[in-house]
Structure 1
Amino acid sequence: MELAHSLLLNEDALAQITEAKRPVFIFEWLRFLDKVLVAANKVDVKEKQKKLVEQLTGLISSAPGPPTRKLLAKNLATLYSIGDTFTVFQTLDKCNDIIKSKDDTPAYLPTKLAAVACVGAFYEKMGRMLGSSFPDTINNLLKALKSAESQGRGEILLSLQKVLSGLGGAAASCHRDIYKNARSLLTDRSMAVRCVVAKCLLELQNEAVFMWTTELENMATLCFKALEGSNYGVRVAVAKLLGTVMATALMPKQAAVMRQNVKRATLEEVLELMATGFLRGGSGFLKSGGEMLKGGGSVSREVRVGVTQAYVVFVTTLGGQWLERNFATFLSHVLDLVSHPRATQTHVEAVYSRRCVSFMLRATLGGLLGEKAQIAAGKEICQAISKQMRAVGKEDGGEISRFRALQRDLLVLHLSDLIRMAFMAATDHSNQLRMAGLQALEDIIKKFASVPEPEFPGHVILEQYQANVGAALRPAFSPDTPSDITAKACQVCSTWIGSGVVSDLNDLRRVHNLLVSSLDKVQAGKGSSSQLYSESATTMEKLAVLKAWAEVYVVAMKIKKEAESKPAKPVRSGDDDEDEEDLGADVLPPDSLIMLVQPELPSLSRLWLAMLRDYALLTLPAEFSSQLPPDGGAFYTPETIDTARLHYRSSWAPVLHAVALWLSSTGFGAGEEKEDATSAPSKAPALPQGAPSTTKTVEESVKDRMHLMLGVSIEFLCFPRPEEPIEHVMSCLQALCTLLESPCAKTHIAEDQLLAVELLNVLHRLLLTRDPPAVQLQVTAVVQETIRAAQDHLQRQKTSKGKEEEGEKDSQPSQGEGGDTGELVPGKSLVFAAMELLVFILVRHLPQLNTRVRESPSHAPLRPQRLPEESARLVANTVSILAELPSLCSPAGSMTILPTVLFLITGVLRETAVKTSDKSVPVPVSAALQGIKTIITSPLARVESIQTQWTSLVRSSLASVLEYSQPDESRPDMDEVSMLTAITLFLLSASNELVGVTVLQKGCMDRFRNGLNSSDPGVQARCYQLLLSVFQHSSRALSTPYIHALAPLMVEKLKAVERSRPGTAAELQAVQEGIRVLENLVGMGEEQNRVQLLALLVPTLISYLLDENAISSAPQVSKGLHDFALQNLMRIGPLYPAAFKIVIGAAPELKTRLESAIRANQASSKAKAAARQAQPTVQAAPTIKLKTSFF
């Protein structure tokens, strides 16, 4: 291809290559020519122009393809514009002759198209230089247009656009002809032709005044018709044409106005024309009127979207200043569009119209107006909204208003009709109708179970329909009922029992008995039921029964757990007990549901385990099919294995959760196994091969069950199918969490570390595919239980090894992950797997923690902001787990992960320490502070072998916190209190040797100084509290520098209160906290320095006292400060009598002021006591209350 890089076509090289490669060679030459012609010397071009023109014109007849044709036309036009134009008319005539040719064969078509492209390029490049030859050329093109096929029409129109662009107003004599020929093609069947026609007419309207004056309505109608059945490209092109024409009609170009006496269209006329397209589409008046009489005539979406885009082009062309001046008119017009009956004939059309109007406003207001104009436009929109709201009548009934206040759907008003409809359908003879009725009943229970009863507080609205629900369910459990209906009825039963609606024990027992009767069928075993229906239907029914029982058991255990976690109620008097009976007579005891389920648990647990074994076998890959039991499983036969898989897939998750709860509550059922084996052997179903027999030991049974539960869970979580509901994922994670709460499961998973690592890797993969915060929270719960299991196991190991090697100090440090080298092996290390998962969660919710993101050139630093509630809980849980990871490592191993852990925890502190309106501490901040404390106070601080690294890590972490807490304009919402708390934690938890370095000490003092000087009284109060804990530190070497540096500033701030007394309760609290710090400093001082310290405190307190005449008129806060100061003075005096007398005696004015305040206080106390004695005694209420009203 290098041979093609020459100014002239290398004909020798072209002749040598094969026929197939010649077009490529020519195309490469034209590409090179396109680049070199512009930069070439004009003299060189003129020398070779004749030969070059011959070669290029020769290529016209070589049937070039579209890209070659485009380059050929461009190069020819460029050549003539750079070089001599002597032969341009000959070339133009040659092109015209080719266009006039009568040859319509497909082989000649590329030649014609190339000639058309060259003509367009000539006029676009040279324009009026071609003289008066354009009428013949244009007429020639228009004649060819009439007989051309779609590709030819498109190329001719594109050429005409270029001709118009090059000639400008000089081609005015041909404008009408071009318009007449082009407008009919706006509705061409080819979408590409429609696009090119729109572009051609867009170019034409720049000079053709008639298009936006006399032909304006016709243009609008043509554009509306062109949008019928259009694609995206046509809509964009036609919308640009329509919007530009309308904008030009409203505000004509100055040159056109000067040239002709142009009548300008009004804004109302233009908007009315465009509204016609939006509401009626491209049909004429008679057609649309007839369709309206018939009741149809909806506008197609393509037309409505196209007109919407035209509105945007219209406003964009007119500009932001026009929109700012005419926004009220435009907004009123847009709202009229969306409220017109033609735009809202159906709900779908109404929604579509609203979205179109929203797009108009968003695209124009957001892109054209400045900030002030947007605010003004926002006010206009608010006024329009309020006007519409006032127009809505207030004729809603009281009942509707009441339920609207409860933010519930208005269907609640028709709840009795819904229940009746579901009841009638569920008890019908048609099986399909029964299924639909039961499904409707289940939906009603789910939607309305929590809706309160307005007339009876403390009750729900569904309580009155308990009898209806029971009656609707009972027929579904008859022996001759199809299995699918019984299965659905079991599902409704579990939903009803678990909803919490049933308040009467007898009603609960009736529904429970239905499930008990269905359980008898399951216990009868495989093959024993009457074969009215297929084996697959029987499997579905039995699995539905077990699933329903599992859901009921899960709800029962949840209620029991909540009841146990509530504090015990205090003993009440007899009257209170009577009131309690009146209020809660219909409330079920919390253990009533579990008491109903308990008798069935022995058989249910066996059935659930058998079902899980079946499910585990059925989920095996196809290559293990030979290992499946030949007789089938507990609830399926080999013939129905394919359909059984679907039934198991929809039922296994609640059963897994229920089995996990049962195993956890019974110690893996070890004690019940023998009882169950001897109690009712005849009722147990036929178990498949591999089921645990009674000959197994307890340890083997526990191990098998553990492997079964973990195997099912991990297999599902490895790759949950997209169609699996999120409830299955949650049930699986909850089952794992419940399982790991059991000591047996903790021991098992801790002893098999590779299993724990695999579990964490699977959970990490799950997080990559599942976004809901609830799933992520449950994942962190499973991780936390796994880490706790490993911690307990490591502690047991250390205890046993400590007993064996008592007295040997060197035996302990190597225990834990990392050993002596500190290496954590990926794939084998539990800590490494946990770190991967936890870092993923943190970076997902706080991307700023990722150093690669922060260091990238395109990264814009984000301000810390408050996380959503679920994200905040998730980050807090993650930080809590992170802080526990070093305890799983050996000292060397902990040094491997601690830099990362401390970096993440301090990073979370930096990104989440944000001020809140309610002054509360965000949950992630509390977790980060607790994590810092956990790490600093860990036993690692006492291991000698890592002291150097430990010291460096603690100091660098404190330095990071100091850096993050530095005042910064880019972080105005930073919570200083959280940062000061973190600094205080370092000072109180670490030794002075670690944090007593001069640089760190100075930084800490600066942050406390900033806190004391803060304008926020809440920050000041908290800073005083934290300083008090630092001052009271047991190590004087740590606290003394802070006392010397910060106490003078505190005294100065407290003395200044006399001049500017507190005006709010927060300011008063800050002063009170400061005084408490000073009091503690007095108590901490030595006896010989007591007088000097009191000389600072006592005058400050006395300065807070008010004059006895000013107390009555003083604000409440100022009175509070006076009372606080007086109480403290009266307490300090007896504590340090000698020193107090010396201080008071040195300044008589202090003594006088204090005595005056004491006298005023005593007088006030006497007056209050006299007032209390003067009050008449009120007769006590009768002890016997009338319980019944007779009126």
Structure 2
Amino acid sequence: MQVGAAVRPAFARDTASHVTAAACDLCSAWLGCGVARDIDDLRRVHQLLVSSLDKLNKKGNTTLIYNESMATLEKLSILKAWAEVYIVAMVSNDSAPGSYVRQLDTKPFNNKAELAKWRNKVLQNNNQIDNATQEEDDEEYGDFESKGESLLKLVEPELESLGDNWLAALKDHALLSLPPEFASQLPHGGGAFYSAETAEASRAHYVRAWPSLLYAAALRYNANFRDIPSTNSDDNQNTDNTVDNRSNKTENGNFEFFEPVDERFHLLFGICMEALCAQRDMSDNDTVSVLLALVTLLDAPENRARLLKDSPLKQEGKVGVIGVPKGLGVNGDTLLVKSLTAMSELTSLTSPQGALSLLPTILYLATEVLKESKGEPVVSEAGILLLQHCAECKRAALLPDTKERHAQLLQSALAKLVESVKTEAAEQRMEAITGARGMAAVLGRAAPAPALHYPCINHFRQCLDTRDNDAFAACCGVLRGVWGGGGGGGGSSAVSWWARALGARVVARAAAARRPADASHVRAALAALAALDDLLAAAPNAPRVQLLRMLVPIVISYLRESGELVRAAPHERTLHDFALNWLMRVGPKYPQEFKTMMQQSPELRSKLEGAVKASQSARAGRTPPRPVFESRPARPTIQLKTDFSDFR
């Protein structure tokens, strides 16, 4: 492919700026699409981009034909082309934290596996492991390896100057994006790539280029900042921006870049937040680039520590993440999961007091994500995990004072959840089961507070009263977390509140399944029995015996006579098998109580014994019979032509 020969004239010194800009776009698209198979073609097109870098170091118009605004277009197009090539090179080299996003169109990301991984991290302290399969993601994106020379190796020699130019262009963009009332803050002499006279005409060129520049600059910053002296040393703390917090001075014809390291981070993070929070439309691709830049910055522990140094910055994350447009579909869900996972780690990077200052923001973020999820599985699960992570924040529990304030924050989160499920406005109301799951996540750690427990109980009561069998089953699954988790910080007293308020409803639904109408009815019965099983294990001895006396007759009523079982529908047979297995498990677990009940009720004992005998007979009938060998040998399958019967 003669791409190099076709575009080479566009890079001549006297070529119009807009033509060179278009040629840069073409070169970056060709290098990034992965079609290059010949290393010489790759080098030739790359060399054309290298030749364009000379124009960056010259102030003003390089062709003396078009206006200064065209010079801005040309230089930004050069920087944008290099940024896109660098992004693809980092993704193909698996060096970009968000590289999976570039593969989503051809190889969707496994959100369930990512959530399972996060869930295991949250639950690992309880020695609980989620068995969801986590798929490895080892395939390369594109084919940029050719004869041992990668695209990244071609780009690396230019990265030092490109990184500073990207940051300078982003600083221009940030200044030009200020509202009109802040026009006085614009530099009188213009910016790095525009003059004061062409500021208005240059805005459109920056709008076109900044998303790619932002992502590339974030990747470069993460790869490079460890080599820059840090100001975090206790020996050298000053209130002013001293040389200890500055990178090497960079000069060219456009600017002198002499910025503190933290200010570089603030510039990149601030542009991300402004873009996500601003009330203006962005394309899906631009939104993805911004989120990838944010994920890249937060991927490094050093950057998360920088974020925690500045309290106002901690408050910006919540609106930025919530502001992600849902129009991105599954890709948007993937980016949201990754962003929330990164934010959940922030509390582990600071002191107990620092964690406490972060928790209001993250709790607000979690509850807002749950409200906006509208019950969508991936998004709601991510919000639940973030909420649970906040509820189980170990760092906040290290000191008595922070532990008490942590409990107060959890009670505030419970109040917010109760308000969200009760609001009259349907568009603002949190989906019922999602709200119940959020309450259960917080109740597992919240201190006993009847004023909040009872509104939560009322919400669960409404969920259990539904005629939708699957919704009832889902609510029972959530209820198990409350009963099995000890009812929250209230311990056995809180379990008692919940059992007295909701136990009768669950028992009644289980009892109503003696003659199930369909498979969903059976699912509701099984979910009810599973929840009551957990309550049975959590109950003290006396209430346990009472509950057992209610459950055993209900479960025995699920059993079918042998003749009736033959004609039973599949869902009835499922219920019968479950009941028999449950009784065989519970009987040995509570032998004395079980024996007493069987002695006191001959009818129950007779029905159970009949079901056990029928099950044993059925298993025996399925055993293959042993072969019976006849005394006479079988007739040979091969007939001999010679008759040996008269042989002596």
TM-score by length of 1: 0.38
Structure 2 residue 589 is matched with structure 1 residue 1135? yes
The one of 465, 468, 479 aligned to 1:1016:
468
What is the percentage of aligned positions where both structures have the same residue?
23
Structure 2 residue 456 is matched with structure 1 residue 1004? yes
1:778 deviates by 5.4
The whole-number CA distance in structure 1 between the counterparts of 2:593 and 2:171 is 87
1:1123 deviates by 1.0
Say which SS state the counterpart of residue 457 (structure 2) adopts. helix
Say which SS state the counterpart of residue 34 (structure 2) adopts. coil
Residue equivalent to 2:2: 471
Residue equivalent to 1:605: 159
- Pairwise mapping of residues 487-502 of structure 1 onto structure 2 (< 5 A)? 488-489=22-23, 491-502=25-36
- Answer whether contact 2:344 2:389 (CA < 8 A) is retained: yes
- For residues 899-919 of structure 1, the C-alpha deviation after alignment (integer angstroms, 9 at most, x for no partner) is 78767765664x53645xxxx
- For residues 474-517 of structure 1, the C-alpha deviation after alignment (integer angstroms, 9 at most, x for no partner) is 35437997746777555433322322345xx33xx242032244
Structure 2 residue 308 is matched with structure 1 residue 830? no
The one of 69, 83, 90 aligned to 1:557:
90
1:656 deviates by 6.6
- For residues 311-336 of structure 1, the C-alpha deviation after alignment (integer angstroms, 9 at most, x for no partner) is xxxxxxxxxxxxxxxxxxxxxxxxxx
Residue equivalent to 1:1155: 609
- Pairwise mapping of residues 385-400 of structure 1 onto structure 2 (< 5 A)? none
Say which SS state the counterpart of residue 991 (structure 1) adopts. coil
1:1139 deviates by 3.2
Q: In the superposition, relative to structure 1, how do residues 955 and 605 fare at CA in structure 2: closer, same or farther (>3 Å)? A: closer
Residue equivalent to 1:661: 219
The whole-number CA distance in structure 2 between the counterparts of 1:1109 and 1:705 is 90
Residue equivalent to 1:1076: 530
1:1136 deviates by 3.3
The whole-number CA distance in structure 2 between the counterparts of 1:981 and 1:617 is 44
Residue equivalent to 1:985: 441
Residue equivalent to 2:568: 1114
Q: In the superposition, relative to structure 1, how do residues 954 and 519 fare at CA in structure 2: closer, same or farther (>3 Å)? A: closer
1:1109 deviates by 0.9
- Pairwise mapping of residues 96-111 of structure 1 onto structure 2 (< 5 A)? none
The whole-number CA distance in structure 2 between the counterparts of 1:962 and 1:1114 is 44
Q: In the superposition, relative to structure 1, how do residues 1080 and 596 fare at CA in structure 2: closer, same or farther (>3 Å)? A: closer
Say which SS state the counterpart of residue 1110 (structure 1) adopts. helix
The whole-number CA distance in structure 1 between the counterparts of 2:284 and 2:142 is 33
Say which SS state the counterpart of residue 1015 (structure 1) adopts. coil
1:767 deviates by 1.4
Q: In the superposition, relative to structure 1, how do residues 1140 and 876 fare at CA in structure 2: closer, same or farther (>3 Å)? A: same
- For residues 627-676 of structure 1, the C-alpha deviation after alignment (integer angstroms, 9 at most, x for no partner) is 99xxxx9xx9x9xx99xx999978787567545534533556779xxxxx
The whole-number CA distance in structure 2 between the counterparts of 1:588 and 1:904 is 36
- Pairwise mapping of residues 1037-1052 of structure 1 onto structure 2 (< 5 A)? 1037-1052=493-508
Say which SS state the counterpart of residue 94 (structure 2) adopts. helix
- Answer whether contact 1:1101 1:1125 (CA < 8 A) is retained: yes
1:1111 deviates by 1.6
- Pairwise mapping of residues 291-306 of structure 1 onto structure 2 (< 5 A)? none
- Answer whether contact 1:780 1:874 (CA < 8 A) is retained: yes
- Answer whether contact 2:24 2:49 (CA < 8 A) is retained: no
The whole-number CA distance in structure 2 between the counterparts of 1:611 and 1:1080 is 62
Q: In the superposition, relative to structure 1, how do residues 662 and 1045 fare at CA in structure 2: closer, same or farther (>3 Å)? A: closer
Letter paired with 1:830: L
- Answer whether contact 2:422 2:429 (CA < 8 A) is retained: no
Residue equivalent to 1:515: 45
Letter paired with 1:702: S
- Answer whether contact 2:284 2:328 (CA < 8 A) is retained: no
Say which SS state the counterpart of residue 763 (structure 1) adopts. helix
The whole-number CA distance in structure 2 between the counterparts of 1:774 and 1:1017 is 42
Letter paired with 2:313: L
Letter paired with 1:493: C
Q: In the superposition, relative to structure 1, how do residues 710 and 1128 fare at CA in structure 2: closer, same or farther (>3 Å)? A: farther
1:1038 deviates by 2.4
- For residues 1049-1075 of structure 1, the C-alpha deviation after alignment (integer angstroms, 9 at most, x for no partner) is 3223212221x41412x3322211222
Q: In the superposition, relative to structure 1, how do residues 592 and 1094 fare at CA in structure 2: closer, same or farther (>3 Å)? A: farther
Residue equivalent to 2:131: none
- Pairwise mapping of residues 932-971 of structure 1 onto structure 2 (< 5 A)? 932-938=387-393, 939-940=395-396, 954-966=410-422
The one of 754, 778, 792 aligned to 2:305:
792
Q: In the superposition, relative to structure 1, how do residues 519 and 880 fare at CA in structure 2: closer, same or farther (>3 Å)? A: closer
Structure 2 residue 518 is matched with structure 1 residue 1063? yes
Say which SS state the counterpart of residue 1095 (structure 1) adopts. helix
The whole-number CA distance in structure 2 between the counterparts of 1:704 and 1:543 is 22
Q: In the superposition, relative to structure 1, how do residues 1128 and 1173 fare at CA in structure 2: closer, same or farther (>3 Å)? A: farther
Q: In the superposition, relative to structure 1, how do residues 1146 and 886 fare at CA in structure 2: closer, same or farther (>3 Å)? A: same
Say which SS state the counterpart of residue 965 (structure 1) adopts. helix
Bigger shift: 1130-1139 or 543-552? 543-552
Residue equivalent to 2:150: 596
Higher RCO (CA-CA < 8 Å; seq separation 6+): 2
1:789 deviates by 5.9
- Answer whether contact 1:615 1:648 (CA < 8 A) is retained: no
- Answer whether contact 1:519 1:545 (CA < 8 A) is retained: yes
Letter paired with 1:767: A
1:981 deviates by 1.1
- For residues 399-442 of structure 1, the C-alpha deviation after alignment (integer angstroms, 9 at most, x for no partner) is xxxxxxxxxxxxxxxxxxxxxxxxxxxxxxxxxxxxxxxxxxxx
Q: In the superposition, relative to structure 1, how do residues 1018 and 974 fare at CA in structure 2: closer, same or farther (>3 Å)? A: farther
The whole-number CA distance in structure 1 between the counterparts of 2:250 and 2:319 is 32
Letter paired with 2:582: N
Q: In the superposition, relative to structure 1, how do residues 1128 and 967 fare at CA in structure 2: closer, same or farther (>3 Å)? A: farther
- Answer whether contact 2:352 2:402 (CA < 8 A) is retained: yes
Letter paired with 1:961: L
- Answer whether contact 1:980 1:1008 (CA < 8 A) is retained: yes
- Answer whether contact 1:490 1:515 (CA < 8 A) is retained: no
Say which SS state the counterpart of residue 516 (structure 2) adopts. coil
- For residues 29-53 of structure 1, the C-alpha deviation after alignment (integer angstroms, 9 at most, x for no partner) is xxxxxxxxxxxxxxxxxxxxxxxxx
Letter paired with 1:1048: A
- Answer whether contact 1:933 1:986 (CA < 8 A) is retained: yes
Letter paired with 1:986: V
Say which SS state the counterpart of residue 1109 (structure 1) adopts. helix
TM-score by length of 2: 0.64
Q: In the superposition, relative to structure 1, how do residues 601 and 1150 fare at CA in structure 2: closer, same or farther (>3 Å)? A: same
1:1104 deviates by 0.5
- Answer whether contact 1:976 1:1019 (CA < 8 A) is retained: no
- For residues 814-844 of structure 1, the C-alpha deviation after alignment (integer angstroms, 9 at most, x for no partner) is xx85xxxxxxxxxxx4346x27xx5598699
Letter paired with 1:601: V
Q: In the superposition, relative to structure 1, how do residues 756 and 889 fare at CA in structure 2: closer, same or farther (>3 Å)? A: farther
Q: In the superposition, relative to structure 1, how do residues 600 and 701 fare at CA in structure 2: closer, same or farther (>3 Å)? A: farther
The whole-number CA distance in structure 1 between the counterparts of 2:141 and 2:279 is 44
5+ unaligned residues in a row in structure 2: which ranges? 101-106, 108-139, 176-185, 230-241, 629-648
Structure 2 residue 446 is matched with structure 1 residue 912? no
> Which has the larger Rg?
1
- For residues 789-820 of structure 1, the C-alpha deviation after alignment (integer angstroms, 9 at most, x for no partner) is 6752487x8xxxxxxxxxxxxxxxxxx85xxx
The whole-number CA distance in structure 2 between the counterparts of 1:1114 and 1:656 is 65
The one of 247, 254, 276 aligned to 1:702:
247
Q: In the superposition, relative to structure 1, how do residues 511 and 791 fare at CA in structure 2: closer, same or farther (>3 Å)? A: closer
Count of residues in correspondence between the two structures: 543
Richer in helix (by share):
1
The whole-number CA distance in structure 1 between the counterparts of 2:622 and 2:306 is 66
The whole-number CA distance in structure 2 between the counterparts of 1:942 and 1:1103 is 51
- For residues 1148-1174 of structure 1, the C-alpha deviation after alignment (integer angstroms, 9 at most, x for no partner) is 222222222223223333343439999
- Answer whether contact 1:670 1:702 (CA < 8 A) is retained: yes
The whole-number CA distance in structure 1 between the counterparts of 2:458 and 2:496 is 16
